[in-house]
Amino acid sequence: MSTPQTAPSWRNWSGLESADGLEVVQPADADEVAEVVRRARAAGRTVKSAGTGHSFTGIARPQHVHLRPERMRGIVAVDRDAMTVTALAGTQLKVLNAELARLGLSLHNMGDIAEQTLAGAISTGTHGTGGRAAGLAAQVVGLELVTGTGEVLRASATENADVLDLGRVGLGALGVLTTITFAVEPLFLLRAEEQPMSWTDALAAFDDLTAAHDHVDMYWFPHSDRMLTKRNTRVGTDLAAAEPLPRWRAWLDDDLLSNTVFGAQTSALNLAPQAIPAANRLASRLLGPRSYTDVAHRVFTTERRVVFREMEYAVPREAGLDVLRECRAAFERSSLRVSFPVEIRVAPPDDVPLSTSYDRDSFYLAFHTHRRTDHRAYFAAMEPVLRAHGGRPHWGKVHTIDADDVAGLYPRLPDFLALRDRLDPDRVFTNSYLDRVLGD
Ligand SMILES: Cc1cc2nc3c(=O)[nH]c(=O)nc-3n(C[C@H](O)[C@H](O)[C@H](O)COP(=O)(O)OP(=O)(O)OC[C@H]3O[C@@H](n4cnc5c(N)ncnc54)[C@H](O)[C@@H]3O)c2cc1C
């Protein structure tokens, strides 16, 4: 194990959360994690395993001991009969995707970036979009974790099945994950089609689009009547049929326009918010249609270098379009100026007790601001609308709900809390965020 360092600090991607004066440890395996946990428990200190800090909330904020993921990376087993892959929990999604592609394999679905660690991504319920394929945690079929008493537990459908059931979205509250086993499938291609539409046409077409395509994403540009729609459709496993974007086009659209120009534009608009409505209307008109076919992970994920702040809620699918209309109405009654689009996604019901899509067809609405914009007035204007419809906030994105609210949103919460009492009786893994959303 690397020698613990004292006093370094931790900061999340958005810069909204930070901590100082931590003991930093980089364990390489479950035994090393167990030793740190036992030592911390005996000293009455807390341990937090953080991933890459891509959560906007303080869910990953260490208070005493900070476990870093760098020495727990890579694939450890591939089972082609069971079609599963086991990887160390600190592996970044982008590394897993590349390794899987080399093996001719793929995850079923994922979110829109691949920087996160596997443990971090599943622990907060990271999801993508699509009416058929659920989020990352629903693809997990096995776990290994170190409990708050320093015990190493393996969990699968046949061994500690309750730990697997509840630990897939574990919020970092049940233990330190050391390996994760995912169900995989043969590497497949997605046909991506992007098309601007009017607000009215996009809402009218939404149900048909989500029925006809495997993955649909929409982006509404505040202050405008325009939506960008993205639809991805599975087109098989014959990789020779790929028609990726030419390198120059990928660079122009995804690097220059989506990162460099968008970053400069939103920075400038942050200083001149009165220009935002006209700039959004112009930007939404400049977007043109495009289509391409590529291996799944290259279609699902892009690089995001423009740092922002985000709140996202899942509401019942059947209420989704009305909630979106209500959010727009609330926005237009306000004097808010917002330069980032509102993102709309869907997910099927899953069986992961603390997943935002647990047991219900879900419609996700995500609100973003520039990293230097005070997000509070915007999010506070939207949150009551989302909460009035039984909205469940993404655990890793800004929200204000507490343990009482969580109890009303998740019917299996009592089971989760009972498992937490069993696996972490002394709350070695707690922090102020977990105290707020789970109670102490
Ligand atoms: C640019 C950007 C794009 C995003 N896109 C999406 C998206 O498309 N869909 C979506 O749903 N979310 C998205 N997110 C949110 C992101 O996926 C989650 O916040 C995710 O949890 C971040 O993973 P991480 O590795 O950074 O974990 P962190 O944020 O560092 O940690 C998250 C949680 O995981 C726990 N954890 C980390 N490692 C371990 C371990 N070994 N054992 C136990 N617990 C552990 C931490 O303690 C904490 O509770 C996005 C975030 C950003 C910044």
Express each pLDDT in 368-400 by its tens digit: 998 888 999 999 999 999 999 999 999 999 999
Percent of the chain with pLDDT strictly greater than 90: 84
Confidence of residue 259 (pLDDT cuts 50, 70, 90): low
Give pLDDT, residue 282. 73
Query: Residue 406: which residues within 8 A CB-CB, separation 6 or more?
Result: 413, 437, 438
Domain enclosing residue 97, as ranges: 75-186
Out of 186, 204, 228, pick the residue that ends a domain: 186
Pocket lining: 284 vs ligand 1, CB cutoff 6 Å: no
Pocket lining: 168 vs ligand 1, CB cutoff 6 Å: no
Per the DSSP assignment, residues forming a β-bridge with 154 are 144
Pocket lining: 293 vs ligand 1, CB cutoff 6 Å: no
Confidence of residue 276 (pLDDT cuts 50, 70, 90): confident
Pocket lining: 320 vs ligand 1, CB cutoff 6 Å: no
Q: Is the dihedral of CA 437, 313, 306, 331 positive or negative?
A: negative
Give pLDDT, residue 289. 85
> Does the global pTM surpass 0.75?
yes
Matching residue, tokens 């326009």 = 257
Q: How far apart are CA 393 and CA 53, in angstroms?
A: 18
Q: How far apart are CA 294 and CA 398, in angstroms?
A: 33
How remote is the CA of residue 299 from the centroid of ligand 1, in Å? Answer: 20
Mean pLDDT of 97-111: 97
How remote is the CA of residue 397 from the centroid of ligand 1, in Å? Answer: 9
- 285 three-state secondary structure: helix
Q: Are residues 84 and 213 located together in one domain of the fold?
A: no
106-120, 148-162, 219-233, 240-254: range with lowest mean pLDDT: 240-254
**Domain-located, residue 69:** no
How remote is the CA of residue 37 from the centroid of ligand 1, in Å? Answer: 22
Per-residue pLDDT reduced to its tens digit, 298-307: 999 988 888 9
Answer with the residue of higher pLDDT: 247 or 334.
334
Q: Are residues 85 and 174 located together in one domain of the fold?
A: yes
Give pLDDT, residue 303. 87
Query: Residue 212: which residues within 8 A CB-CB, separation 6 or more?
Result: 231, 233
**Domain-located, residue 14:** no
Q: Which two tokens stand for residue 185?
A: 């499938």
Judge whether 287 and 228 are in contact, CB under 8 Å. yes
- 7 three-state secondary structure: coil
Pocket lining: 117 vs ligand 1, CB cutoff 6 Å: yes
Number of domains, the chain: 2
Q: Are residues 126 and 256 located together in one domain of the fold?
A: no
Does pLDDT of 17 surpass 80? yes
Q: Find the CATH number of the domain harbouring 195.
A: 3.40.462.10
Q: Are residues 124 and 139 located together in one domain of the fold?
A: yes
Pocket lining: 120 vs ligand 1, CB cutoff 6 Å: yes
Does pLDDT of 40 surpass 90? yes
CA 136, distance to chain mean position in Å, is 9
Largest CA distance in the chain: 61
- Ligand 1 atom closest to the Cα of residue 53 is 30
Q: How far apart are CA 407 and CA 200, in angstroms?
A: 37
Judge whether 153 and 163 are in contact, CB under 8 Å. yes
To test the pocket of ligand 1, the residue of 22, 24, 55, 215 to mutate (highest count of ligand atoms within 8 Å of its CB) is 55
Q: Which of 156, 154, 85, 93 lies closest to 120 in space, CA to CA?
A: 93
Pocket lining: 353 vs ligand 1, CB cutoff 6 Å: no
- Ligand 1 atom closest to the Cα of residue 116 is 25
Does pLDDT of 252 surpass 70? no
Give pLDDT, residue 272. 78
Does pLDDT of 3 surpass 60? no
Mean pLDDT of 266-285: 76
Q: Which two tokens stand for residue 355?
A: 């997943």
DSSP code for 46? -
Out of 157, 186, 215, pick the residue that ends a domain: 186
- 440 three-state secondary structure: coil
Confidence of residue 274 (pLDDT cuts 50, 70, 90): confident
Q: Find the CATH number of the domain harbouring 168.
A: 3.30.465.10
Q: Are residues 316 and 357 located together in one domain of the fold?
A: yes
Per-residue pLDDT reduced to its tens digit, 174-230: 999 999 999 999 999 999 999 999 999 999 999 999 999 999 999 999 999 999 999
**Domain-located, residue 166:** yes
Matching residue, tokens 């809390």 = 417
Out of 186, 220, 242, pick the residue that ends a domain: 186
E strands in 248-375: 290-295, 308-316, 342-347, 362-370
Confidence of residue 343 (pLDDT cuts 50, 70, 90): very high
How remote is the CA of residue 356 from the centroid of ligand 1, in Å? Answer: 14
Q: Which of 281, 67, 297 lies closest to 185 in space, CA to CA?
A: 297
When the pLDDT of each residue in the chain is averaged and rounded to a whole number, the result is: 93
Give pLDDT, residue 251. 58
Mean pLDDT of 54-60: 98
To test the pocket of ligand 1, the residue of 124, 354, 394, 419 to mutate (highest count of ligand atoms within 8 Å of its CB) is 124
Q: Are residues 382 and 238 located together in one domain of the fold?
A: yes
Q: Which helix (H) or strand (E) holds 23?
A: strand 23-25
E strands in 325-397: 342-347, 362-370, 392-393
Percent of the chain with pLDDT strictly greater than 70: 94
Pocket lining: 119 vs ligand 1, CB cutoff 6 Å: yes
**Domain-located, residue 439:** no
